């Protein structure tokens, strides 16, 4: 009889550990970073651009639309690049990715991936199931805010739709950052 109880207890523990592990794997992780010298109160209009693609154009469009809606809900006006105070770039990844973004200093306009000026290369590593939103000052072209949400994309589009919306809303709740006024 004691052997039977130990087997049942062991199976119960295995089920419990599996349940806890699956619950932790589904937790959306949100992280942000920003330029502390930036006064975010000067941003009223934002242009939104598509960055890296996930490989699923429907999901990419869903993420893009969720970012636009979340920014509008915060009171930002979405405008074309030439009228924007800031530019938000939306990136998504469903697998491990290593990418480089190249900007060119002293080039009129954005100078994405072309130009004769000095190149500035930023390296990005994306984790499985990650959405990244980078915000740049439109006048200086400097990165002012970087936010990412992990563990939101999977192979189940129906489940992902709700998770994407929750993650984007949660992520952009941190934009603009709450800075101390001195």
Tens of pLDDT, residue by residue, the chain (182 residues):
455 556 556 555 555 444 444 444 458 889 999 999 999 999 999 999 999 887 788 888 999 999 999 999 999 999 999 999 999 999 987 655 555 555 544 445 554 445 455 555 555 555 557 899 999 999 999 999 999 998 887 777 778 888 899 999 999 999 999 865 44
Residue 81 covered by a domain? yes
Domain carrying residue 63: 29-172
Residue 50 covered by a domain? yes
pTM of the model: 0.68
Residue 8 covered by a domain? no
Residue 36 covered by a domain? yes
Residue 41 covered by a domain? yes
Q: Total domain count for the chain?
A: 1
Q: Could you tell me the CATH number of the domain that includes residue 140?
A: 3.30.160.670
Q: What is the DSSP letter of 37?
A: T
Residue 18 covered by a domain? no
What residue has token string 């199931």? 129
- For the CA atoms of 132, 137, 141, 147, the dihedral, rounded to the nearest 10 degrees, stands at -20
Q: Distance (Å, rounded) from C-alpha 80 to C-alpha 102?
A: 21
Residue 2 covered by a domain? no
Residue 23 covered by a domain? no
Structure tokens at 149: 């949400």
């Amino acid at each position: 009889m004691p052997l039977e109880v130990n087997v049942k207890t062991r199976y119960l523990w295995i089920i419990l550990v599996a349940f806890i592990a699956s619950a932790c794997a589904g937790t959306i992780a949100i992280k942000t970073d920003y330029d502390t010298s930036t006064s975010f109160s000067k941003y009223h209009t934002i242009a939104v651009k598509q960055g890296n693609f996930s490989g699923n154009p429907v999901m990419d469009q869903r993420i893009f639309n969720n970012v636009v809606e979340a920014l509008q809900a915060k009171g930002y006006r979405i405008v074309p690049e030439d009228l924007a105070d800031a530019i938000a770039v939306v990136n998504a990844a469903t697998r491990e990715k290593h990418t480089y973004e190249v900007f060119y200093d002293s080039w009129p306009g954005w100078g994405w991936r072309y130009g004769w000026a000095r190149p500035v290369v930023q390296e990005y590593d994306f984790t499985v199931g990650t959405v990244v939103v980078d915000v740049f000052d439109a006048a200086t072209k400097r990165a002012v805010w970087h936010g990412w949400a992990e563990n939101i994309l999977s192979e189940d589009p129906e489940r992902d739709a709700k998770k994407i919306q929750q993650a984007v809303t949660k992520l952009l709740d941190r934009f603009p950052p709450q800075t101390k006024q001195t």
